[in-house]
Chains A and B, each alone.
Chain A
Amino acid sequence: MRRLFLSLTACLVVFVGASLLGLILSAPPAALVSSLASPEIRFAILLSLGTGLLSTFICIALAVPIAYSLARYDFPGKRVATLALTLPLTLPPLVAGIALLLFFGTTPWGRILEEAGFAVVFTPLGIVVAQVFVNLPYLIRILRSSFVAINPRFEHVAKTLGCTEAGTFLQVTLPMARPGLVAGTIITWSKAMGEFGAVLMLAGATPMRTETLPLALFLNISTGDLNMAIAAATILILISLITLIAVDGIDRDIVVF
């Protein structure tokens, strides 16, 4: 059994490695370098990193309190709330995207936002909104199970030791939820970098305006510019690799790979 399982693992490692490496090496190196230096790819890198950072930050800020209330508090409609927050998980991002497009594009709320200077449809802000909408449910789920796993008695003891409610949360609950928080952040960040469907629907695919790396890949492959597409893909692979190595280096307690 051991031999069978190990050889299966080895096969998969070789396959994943070969396909990713093959992708990077399929373009002539000189062409790859010039594509990477092109203004379009440089723009896409910056836009992806910027929107990804912002949406990850917003996801954490929202998911921490929401996940905690789902884990700890009892309130009417808790099951419905949990369902509503879980549903986007199982939806194709394209569906989430079109729902967002209709919400921001055709309702009075969308118009009010637009007049206030926060236009969402077909704008870079739309990228952030789409990423948050798709990724937030994942982060809430991960954090909720982290919080559920912490015995509330830790919080009780902290309070008898003089910690206020907020102090308990910051000094006991959050540090104890750290592994989930780190893992959730990595997943949110990586998914934000790669988000395609929802971003395409809500923010469109305007070159040099809402063109993130996945969209650059898509636009260039549809126009037949294979080298540019490979350049975008190479950058995405590099970002994933750096993310995993950085987290592993920063946090010894958390096993990333």
Chain B
Amino acid sequence: MLRIESLTTSLGDFSVRDISLEVRDNEYFVILGPTGAGKSVLIETIAGIHFPSSGRIVLDGRDVTRTAPWSRPVGMVYQDYMLFPHLDVGENIAFGLRQRRVPAARRREQVIEICGLLEIDHLLGRSPGSLSGGEQQRVALARALVLEPKVLLLDEPLSALDGPTRERMRAELSRVRRLTGTAVLHITHHFEDVFALADRIAIMRDGRIVQVGETGDVFLHPADRFVAEFLGIGNIIRGRSERFGSVVRITTTSGVTFSAASGTLGEVVATFHAEDVILSGAPFASSARNCLEGEVLGVVPCGSTIQVRLDVGFPLTALLTRESCHDLALSPGVRIFATFKASAVHLIPVGS
């Protein structure tokens, strides 16, 4: 659907260099990278805002490298929405249709249809300034999607939202994508955004793509230290997921089992943060579903915290304060219990 070939663009301090990647039909592609990696320059180049100094952009079989932005079938949604403040919600959504000189009656129908899809019918006459972040996000999405773009470019769409709104919006993005069938290119510096959304991911650093692949593969086999540290999850475990009551149970290759609050079944990569692991001298009753016994392999000071490496049948990392580490008298060889909540575990399906 979208193919980028050795694209290079320079723009002041930001640049992208020699980037090649492909977003397939119907695919949800996430580009992950730290702030300043050149992600915004990349999607603005794809949108036609900047012209590349070399390379090609092929969209839906057509070379659009030198095509004006207004003639490219792409939609773009920025992190800060960019709703036109002098127009109301309905006028914002109809903006692109008006440019295409769609007759007023047809325009109204299309606006109402897309608003139904995004559940924002009730906002039509409001001014953008009076909307919450999540509402503005939906309006910005509607404004882009009403034109039925071949590719939807999303610039950090979840970063400006608070926790619960973020979670809802993530589900929303996945639903919208399923309903419209638009290919999505989503850039973000939050690796949480890839869960439940990304089919494939690319990791970007200093204007270059350092790794591209199926989400699970990239998590399992980070190409280099940068990728591993950037994904920075602490715990990445390969296993098989099966339904177990309301949750799933993961059996690792070494035969250890633990639970995850997820619906993903089959071969998976399970990930959770080192901060989410609690260590204790004895097993204790808690609401957390997972409590595994293991042995301390190493204790590594890491800034104000201490990283404790364990073997619980698979390698596991926990992050503790110095005080807790001292209280538990942790040192290599000590037997210990590691507890973590099923809801802290994220599952990524692994392509067969």
| Beta-carbon contacts under 8 Å, B132-157 to A | 143-144, 147, 153
Interface pick from A6-14, A41-49, A161-169: A161-169
Considering the complex, give the chain A residue whose CB is closest to the CB of B81.
Answer: A157
| Beta-carbon contacts under 8 Å, A146-183 to B | 151, 153-154, 156-164, 167, 171-172, 175-176, 178
Interface membership of B72, Cβ < 8 A: yes
Interface membership of B86, Cβ < 8 A: yes
Partner of A175, one of B86, B99, B143: B86
Interface membership of B216, Cβ < 8 A: no
Q: Are the C-beta atoms of B82 and A163 separated by less than 8 Å? A: no
- What's the minimum C-beta distance from A11 to chain B, rounded to whole angstroms? 38
Q: Are the C-beta atoms of B99 and A163 separated by less than 8 Å? A: yes
Interface membership of B320, Cβ < 8 A: no
Q: Are the C-beta atoms of A161 and B147 separated by less than 8 Å? A: yes
- Residues in A with CB closer than 8 Å to B100 are 162
Report the bound CA distance from A158 to B68 in whole Å.
Answer: 12
| Beta-carbon contacts under 8 Å, B20-70 to A | 44, 47-49, 68-70
Q: Are the C-beta atoms of B84 and A176 separated by less than 8 Å? A: yes
Residue total for B at the interface (Cβ-Cβ under 8 A): 25
Interface membership of B76, Cβ < 8 A: yes
Considering the complex, give the chain A residue whose CB is closest to the CB of B71.
Answer: A162
For B48, B68, B76, which residue has the most chain A Cβ atoms within 10 angstroms? B76
- What's the minimum C-beta distance from A132 to chain B, rounded to whole angstroms? 29
- Residues in A with CB closer than 8 Å to B86 are 175-176, 178
Considering the complex, give the chain B residue whose CB is closest to the CB of A172.
Answer: B84
Interface readout for B99-133 with A: 1 if CB under 8 Å, 0 if not?
11000000000000000000000000000000000
Report the bound CA distance from A178 to B76 in whole Å.
Answer: 25
Report the bound CA distance from A159 to B147 in whole Å.
Answer: 13
Report the bound CA distance from A59 to B247 in whole Å.
Answer: 70
Report the bound CA distance from A153 to B81 in whole Å.
Answer: 9
Considering the complex, give the chain A residue whose CB is closest to the CB of B149.
Answer: A160
- Residues in A with CB closer than 8 Å to B82 are 151, 153-154, 156-157
Report the bound CA distance from A150 to B78 in whole Å.
Answer: 15
- What's the minimum C-beta distance from A195 to chain B, rounded to whole angstroms? 33
Considering the complex, give the chain A residue whose CB is closest to the CB of B79.
Answer: A153
Decide: A162 near B80, CB < 8 A? Known: A175-B86, A176-B86, A178-B86.
no
Residue total for A at the interface (Cβ-Cβ under 8 A): 18
Q: Are the C-beta atoms of A156 and B99 separated by less than 8 Å? A: no
Considering the complex, give the chain B residue whose CB is closest to the CB of A151.
Answer: B82
| Beta-carbon contacts under 8 Å, A28-46 to B | none
Report the bound CA distance from A43 to B88 in whole Å.
Answer: 47
- What's the minimum C-beta distance from A149 to chain B, rounded to whole angstroms? 12
- Residues in A with CB closer than 8 Å to B68 are 159, 164
- Residues in A with CB closer than 8 Å to B70 are 159-164, 167
Q: Are the C-beta atoms of B84 and A162 separated by less than 8 Å? A: no
Q: Are the C-beta atoms of A156 and B47 separated by less than 8 Å? A: yes
Interface membership of B207, Cβ < 8 A: no
- What's the minimum C-beta distance from B255 to chain A, rounded to whole angstroms? 52
Considering the complex, give the chain B residue whose CB is closest to the CB of A167.
Answer: B99
Interface membership of B96, Cβ < 8 A: yes
Q: Are the C-beta atoms of A159 and B95 separated by less than 8 Å? A: no
Report the bound CA distance from A167 to B84 in whole Å.
Answer: 14
Report the bound CA distance from A178 to B87 in whole Å.
Answer: 13
Report the bound CA distance from A171 to B90 in whole Å.
Answer: 16
Q: Are the C-beta atoms of B84 and A159 separated by less than 8 Å? A: no
Considering the complex, give the chain A residue whose CB is closest to the CB of B146.
Answer: A161
Report the bound CA distance from A158 to B143 in whole Å.
Answer: 10
Partner of B44, one of A156, A163, A171, A178: A156
Report the bound CA distance from A86 to B33 in whole Å.
Answer: 42
Q: Are the C-beta atoms of B80 and A153 separated by less than 8 Å? A: yes
- Residues in B with CB closer than 8 Å to A176 are 84-86
Considering the complex, give the chain B residue whose CB is closest to the CB of A157.
Answer: B82
Interface membership of B74, Cβ < 8 A: yes
Decide: A154 near B84, CB < 8 A? Known: A159-B49, A160-B74, A167-B99.
yes
Report the bound CA distance from A174 to B48 in whole Å.
Answer: 22
Considering the complex, give the chain B residue whose CB is closest to the CB of A159.
Answer: B69
- Residues in A with CB closer than 8 Å to B76 are 156-157, 160
Report the bound CA distance from A151 to B85 in whole Å.
Answer: 12
Q: Are the C-beta atoms of B72 and A160 separated by less than 8 Å? A: yes
Report the bound CA distance from A156 to B78 in whole Å.
Answer: 10
- Residues in A with CB closer than 8 Å to B48 are 159-160
Q: Are the C-beta atoms of B49 and A161 separated by less than 8 Å? A: no
- Residues in B with CB closer than 8 Å to A156 are 44, 47, 49, 69, 76, 78, 82
Interface membership of B234, Cβ < 8 A: no
Q: Are the C-beta atoms of A161 and B44 separated by less than 8 Å? A: no
Report the bound CA distance from A162 to B69 in whole Å.
Answer: 7
Interface membership of B75, Cβ < 8 A: yes
Interface readout for A120-158 with B: 1 if CB under 8 Å, 0 if not?
000000000000000000000000000000010110111
Q: Are the C-beta atoms of A160 and B144 separated by less than 8 Å? A: yes
- What's the minimum C-beta distance from A107 to chain B, rounded to whole angstroms? 41
Report the bound CA distance from A160 to B144 in whole Å.
Answer: 8
**10 pairs, CB–CB < 8 Å, chain A vs chain B:** A153-B78, A156-B47, A159-B47, A159-B48, A159-B68, A159-B70, A160-B47, A160-B76, A162-B100, A175-B84
- Having A162-B96, A175-B84, one finds 8 other A-B pairs with CB under 8 Å, namely A151-B82, A156-B47, A156-B78, A158-B84, A160-B48, A160-B76, A161-B96, A172-B84
Residues of A bordering B, CB below 8 Å: 151, 153-154, 156-164, 167, 171-172, 175-176, 178
